[in-house]
Amino acid sequence: MRWVAFMPLRANSKSIPDKNIRSIAGRPLFAWSLEQAITSQCFDEIYVATDSPKIRKIVLEEFPSAVKVLDRSAETCTDTASTESAMLEFHQQISFDVVSLIQATSPLTRADDFRMAKHRFVTDNLDSLLTAVSSKRFFWTKSAIPINYDPANRPRRQDFEGCLMENGAFYLTRAKLLRETASRLGGRIGIHEMTAETAIEIDDEVDWIVVEQLLLRQKLKSNRGTSQIKAFILDVDGTLTDGGMYYGSDGEALKKFNTRDAHGLQLLRENGIKVCVMSSEDSPAVAARMKKLNIDDYYPGIKNKFEVLQSKAKLWRMSLLDVAYMGDDLCDLECISRVGAAICPADAVPEIMQRAHYVCTRAAGHGAVREACDLILGKNLGMTITSLKNNS
């Protein structure tokens, strides 16, 4: 059987301008799920269909040999055109037995999802398959009619089986079914259940923010994870401080620090994680702060931070992958690019944010360092997508 993957990408996204090619966690949105499809090795060929020369160019830059790009007609790119119309147009050009429709708006899809879905499709001799997530929410119609439970016998959450919610990550469809019904689903239908965080399809800016943080955490965990971190090295101005310059009545330069950041660094040291602070400036105010915090590994006036990073790792007899680094500006770029866990404040420069494994929700001088410390200690990794969504 010939298996192909198909991702339709159109220009002029309505909800978020240029959504499909906008950078999220350092890569174009479409690249995340396409890369996982490639990694899965489930497909004989992978295609993107688009009406945009700009999208075509970016897709081929990301995947010069692994993905083929086809033209998509204007008729299948209107606001009222169905995705099935794009699938049928694709099938007129490409022969296949089974097609996987992949949605760019579900970047948390993993290679194992494709593998497990394909296995179920083949084993159960399915005609089509959809992806879904488990939901234990109680649903109602707008006419106040319950859909999936009896209010008179309201079940406890732990006793409620709930239901499966279609998440739109990807679909598997036999060519015969698509031709005969012009639908992606029909015949003998199966479901591949995915993890809870994949419930979000990116449709607005709130979705974007939540999913980007999940992708960054995913990158951080895949890069050895925070549980392996043995040392934390960080910058001062724009990281430990808010980057502002303050002056006393006598003209003395002052710095603003956050007490929660200091406590976070103390917690790291109490848990056996080494802490080192370096700065490109030589400030008496910073020196005084380091002395108060009993941080002996403080290096002021450093022009080449990566040299210090290397020397400290060598002295500590650990790999750079055992080190977390936090910085905010271009002078931190080489360090950010070489360590096992790269972290930056919410207001870091764009170049740093693109390279970081994790972008803090807090700004420099306002608890960003404490957030990084908590992440390294593993205090926030269990947060579910439900709580993230409810608090957004």
Tokens representing 312 are: 């400290």
Closest CA to 326 of 194, 264, 235, 229: 235
- The verdict on 246 and 351 lying in the same domain is yes
Domain range for 374 is: 221-391
CATH of the domain at 300: 3.40.50.1000
- The verdict on 244 and 153 lying in the same domain is no
What is the pLDDT, as a whole number, of residue 250? 64
Contact 280, 264 (CB under 8 A): no
Within-domain flag for 343: yes
166 phi, psi to nearest 5 deg? -60, 125
- The verdict on 26 and 117 lying in the same domain is yes
- H-helix or E-strand spanning residue 4: strand 3-9
- The verdict on 240 and 153 lying in the same domain is no
- In degrees, rounded to 5, the angle at the alpha carbon of residue 112 between the alpha carbons of residues 382 and 320 is 60
What is the pLDDT, as a whole number, of residue 387? 39
pTM: 0.63
Within-domain flag for 376: yes
- The verdict on 358 and 283 lying in the same domain is yes
Cα separation, 28 vs 212, in Å, equals 11
- The verdict on 19 and 166 lying in the same domain is yes
Question: Residue 167, SS3?
Answer: strand
- The verdict on 193 and 234 lying in the same domain is no
What is the pLDDT, as a whole number, of residue 249? 56
- H-helix or E-strand spanning residue 23: strand 23-24
- The verdict on 227 and 199 lying in the same domain is no
Cα separation, 84 vs 93, in Å, equals 14
- The verdict on 333 and 387 lying in the same domain is yes
Q: Where are the beta strands (DSSP E) in 158-285?
A: 163-174, 189-193, 231-234, 246-247, 253-254, 274-278
Within-domain flag for 365: yes
**What is each CA distance from 294 to 232, 240, 263, 297, 353, in whole angstroms?**
15, 15, 12, 9, 30
What is the pLDDT, as a whole number, of residue 87? 98
- The verdict on 76 and 133 lying in the same domain is yes
Which of 169, 203, 237 corresponds to the end of one domain?
203
Q: Give the β-pairing of 358-359 and 341-344.
A: parallel
Which of 203, 233, 262 corresponds to the end of one domain?
203
Question: Residue 3, SS3?
Answer: strand
What is the pLDDT, as a whole number, of residue 54? 95
Q: Give the β-pairing of 274-278 and 23-24.
A: unpaired
Within-domain flag for 240: yes
Q: Give the β-pairing of 231-234 and 3-9.
A: unpaired
Which of 177, 203, 229 corresponds to the end of one domain?
203
What is the pLDDT, as a whole number, of residue 254? 64
Tokens representing 221 are: 């965990």
Within-domain flag for 355: yes
Contact 30, 23 (CB under 8 A): no
**What is each CA distance from 159 to 146, 147, 152, 153, 156, in whole angstroms?**
18, 17, 15, 12, 5
**pLDDT tens track, the chain, 392 positions:** 999 999 999 987 777 888 999 988 768 899 999 999 999 999 999 999 999 999 999 999 889 889 999 999 999 999 889 999 999 999 999 999 999 999 999 999 999 999 999 999 999 999 999 999 999 999 999 999 999 999 999 998 888 988 999 999 999 999 999 999 999 999 999 999 999 999 999 999 899 988 988 887 776 666 544 447 899 999 999 999 987 666 665 655 667 788 899 999 999 999 999 999 999 888 888 898 999 999 999 999 999 999 999 999 999 998 887 899 999 999 998 898 888 888 999 999 998 988 888 889 899 999 999 999 998 887 543 332 333 334 43
- In degrees, rounded to 5, the angle at the alpha carbon of residue 320 between the alpha carbons of residues 314 and 324 is 120
What is the pLDDT, as a whole number, of residue 16? 86
- The verdict on 279 and 351 lying in the same domain is yes
CB-based burial of residue 279 (10 Å sphere; 0-12 exposed, 13-18 middle, 19+ buried)?
Answer: buried
Within-domain flag for 176: yes
Within-domain flag for 213: no
Cα separation, 322 vs 333, in Å, equals 18
Number of domains observed in the structure of the chain: 2
Within-domain flag for 212: no
Contact 293, 324 (CB under 8 A): no
CATH of the domain at 78: 3.90.550.10
- The verdict on 163 and 241 lying in the same domain is no
